[in-house]
Amino acid sequence: MILKLAWRNLWRNKRRSFITIASILFAVLFVVFMRAFQLGSYEAMTRGVVNMYTGYAQIHLNGYWDDQTLDNVMPYRESFEDSLLKVDGVKSVIPRLEGFALSSFVDKTKGTLVIGANPEKEKEILKIEELLFDGEVISSADNQIMISEGLADYYKMSVKDTLVLLGQGYHGMSAAGKYAVKGIIKFRNPTLNQNTVIMSIPQAQWFFSTGNQVTSLILEKEEFTKVETLVADVSKKIDLNTFEVLDWKTMLPELVQSIEADNVGGVIMAFILYMIIFFGIFGTILMMTAERKYEFGILISIGMKRIKLGMVILYEIVFLGIIGVLSGYLLVYPLIIYFYINPVRFEGEFAKTFEDLGFEPIIPTSLDPAIPITHALIILIIALVLSIYPNLKIQHLKPTEARRL
């Protein structure tokens, strides 16, 4: 009975209901749209950074991440790799041996990152083949190296020149060698592009005297697998006293922090939007209460309980809220999906800055269902809080005065 009354009341004054619904609808539209873009840009950024070098998760010898020296290498076994590939969500396992060495050509020297990598397996991460700038890609049997474009530019080197590398290897062994440059890679990441030497894993193992060992195994995940689940599943498979499994959040705390810092800005924006929405809805409710003062007076006079009248008003507002939120979804979802498929693409100078940093110059939206759900709930709560006002009015209404127009 009360529900029916509330429902009918809504349609008694269509224009008033419509205004309230519209204010809620736009609130949902704005907040969800804004957050979808913001979180979408974080996802794109994470994907960009993570897929450039570190990968979503890595396995090392326990303690390697805190003390990244060649003394903390771990044995590399095919059987270990196979057992990891059996874990759900692991798409591929990419071994890497990373170290540092001083490089020299003619009369210049520079500190370089030496990466022992498998070009075949690095298709998704280092993208050695895709980013080839000059020359050829090395094979695992090669005793030649590839250098980054920035390093080649620093030395004014080209393919077939010989680079001298000097450093310290496993257990303090000397690591020294002369290597012909077979290819030049243009990395998108500026730091990586400036000083990187890539050699095959067997060659790097010889250079650093590590034997058949590597510093890290990178885990590539299937697209819809969550990193957290992947790390948890892999952790169950391996001996955590010997190895460590780290996700990108641990390995790239700067990225997490910059996202968090930016996100605070987004949350503040959302809060301001909510304040506006709050007063918008409050305004319409205020109007409605004033308009219906006479009606309330009559109803109370003819014996309707104040509690019941309050319930009617509460239901009315909940109805308005639900209709507003649902119609907001109907409007915002096609937009979000459209921009997910056709993300905002930057052009010109701005796009170049993005590309230099190794990101695609796009801002897609996020399809995370958590966004609309949380915001719908917040708006419903706002509507409920606001329904306190007409209820208070009803409780203190003096029918005799209210009927006097």
Q: Which of 171, 305, 352, 404 binds another protein (CB under 8 A)?
A: 171
Cα–Cα distance between 328 and 319 in angstroms, integer? 14
* Contacts (CB under 8 A) with another protein, residues 178-207: 178
361 binds another protein (CB under 8 A): no
Supply φ then ψ for residue 398, to 5 degrees.
Answer: -100, 110
Nearer Cβ to another protein (102/273): 102
Q: Which residue has the tokens 């104040």?
A: 306
Interface region with another protein, contact rule CB under 8 A, candidates 20-28, 74-82, 167-175, 189-197: 167-175
Residue in the block written with tokens 């094979």: 139
Q: Least CB distance from residue 177 to another protein, whole Å? A: 5
* Three-state secondary-structure class, residue 90: strand
Binding flag, residue 212, another protein (CB under 8 A): no
226 counts as binding another protein under rule CB under 8 A: no
Nearer to another protein, 168 or 215 (CB): 168
The minimum distance between CB 165 and another protein, in angstroms, equals: 8
Q: How many whole angstroms separate alpha carbon 184 and alpha carbon 181?
A: 8
Q: Which of 13, 139, 158, 174 binds another protein (CB under 8 A)?
A: 174
Reported as type and span, the H/E element at residue 92 is strand 90-105
Is 357:280 a contact under the CB 8 Å cutoff?
no
164 sits near another protein (criterion: CB under 8 A): yes
Q: CA-CA distance, 45 to 363, in Å (whole number)?
A: 9
Q: Is 168 a binder of another protein (CB under 8 A)?
A: yes
143 binds another protein per the rule CB under 8 A: no
Question: Which helix (H) or strand (E) is 110 found in, with range?
Answer: strand 108-117
Cβ-in-10-Å burial (0-12, 13-18, 19+) of 119 comes to: buried
Residue count at the site for another protein (CB under 8 A)?
Answer: 14
- Residue 164 C-beta: closest distance to another protein, Å: 5
Site string for another protein, 301-320 (x = CB under 8 A): --------------------
| Beta-ladder partners of 100 | 113
Contact flag: residue 62 with another protein (CB under 8 A): no
Residue 252, C-beta contacts closer than 8 angstroms, at least 6 positions apart: 49, 50, 54
Closest distance between another protein and the C-beta of residue 206, in Å? 9
CA-CA distance, 163 to 147, in Å (whole number)? 9
Please give the residue ranges that form the binding site for another protein (CB under 8 A).
Answer: 71, 104, 164-166, 168, 171-174, 176-178, 209
